[in-house]
């Protein structure tokens, strides 16, 4: 995409610096009377997932890059890898389970997922904000247990465990937030 001055970076930009593929989470520009402007950039390494802060003087240039996103269907668990398919070309790719430990809690076969890549290097997947998952095991509500916001444990179809309100029963489909893994309500129109 081209090179730009580090002071022109904005949150959400993707760039390469010292061989690392980074995304901008936040930027703070600091200018004092006797010094050049300094950009303190909070970044996330897209290959390792680590979040750090880098400081660069005004005039330092970085190369902006564009990531590719492609919607693919999650097919199945192949042991050490998960298999995804492009529904239009039927091309299949495999992504190591070790790179998707959190995402595994919310993936069920036939789910449509955005795969993020850079120059054919797969960086990961993007989950929707909420997913509908079926409860496969939970305790029955106990009469008289009406403490404010009483919660109980539930196991979902993916094996993930979540706290749910007492009135939710086995077999119901609920919405779960993928950012923190918490219950977000009953799924509308699903059984």
Tens of pLDDT, residues 146-172: 556 778 899 999 999 999 998 888 999
Confidence (pLDDT) at 32 = 81
Contacts of 144 (CB under 8 A, 6+ apart): none
Q: Cα separation of 63 and 66, whole Å?
A: 10
Beta bridge partners of 95: 82
Confidence (pLDDT) at 49 = 80
For domain 130-186, give the CATH superfamily: Nucleic acid-binding proteins (2.40.50.140)
Domain limits of the chain? 2-64, 68-126, 130-186
Number of H helices, E strands in the chain: 0, 16
CATH topology agreement for domains 68-126 and 130-186: yes
Q: Cα separation of 10 and 64, whole Å?
A: 11
Confidence (pLDDT) at 22 = 92
* CATH T-level assignment (fold) for domain 68-126: OB fold (Dihydrolipoamide Acetyltransferase, E2P) (2.40.50)
Q: Taking the model in full, what pTM does it have?
A: 0.71
Q: Cα separation of 176 and 182, whole Å?
A: 6
Contacts of 174 (CB under 8 A, 6+ apart): 132, 133, 135, 154, 156, 162, 164, 168, 183, 184, 185, 186, 187
**Chain-centre distance of CA 60, in angstroms?**
30
Neighbours of 64 (CB within 10 A): 15
State the DSSP code for 102: T
* Residues of the chain falling short of pLDDT 50: 191
């Amino acid at each position: 995409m081209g090179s730009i001055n580090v002071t022109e970076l904005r949150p959400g930009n993707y760039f390469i610096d010292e061989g690392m593929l980074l995304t901008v989470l936040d930027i703070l520009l600091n200018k004092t009377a006797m010094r050049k402007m300094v950009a303190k950039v909070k970044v996330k390494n897209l290959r390792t997932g680590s979040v750090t802060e880098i400081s660069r003087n005004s005039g330092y240039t970085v190369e902006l890059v564009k990531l590719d996103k492609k919607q693919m269907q999650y097919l199945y668990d192949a042991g050490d890898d998960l298999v995804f398919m492009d529904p239009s070309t039927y091309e299949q790719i495999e992504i190591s389970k070790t790179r998707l430990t959190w995402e595994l809690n919310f993936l069920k076969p036939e789910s449509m997922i955005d795969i993020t890549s850079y120059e054919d290097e797969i960086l990961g997947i993007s989950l929707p904000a909420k997913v509908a998952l079926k409860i496969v095991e939970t305790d029955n509500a106990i009469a008289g247990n009406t403490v404010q916001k009483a919660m109980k444990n539930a196991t979902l179809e993916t094996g993930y465990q979540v706290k749910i309100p007492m009135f939710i029963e086995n077999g119901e489909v609920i919405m779960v937030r993928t950012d923190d893994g918490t219950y977000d309500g009953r799924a509308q129109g699903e059984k």
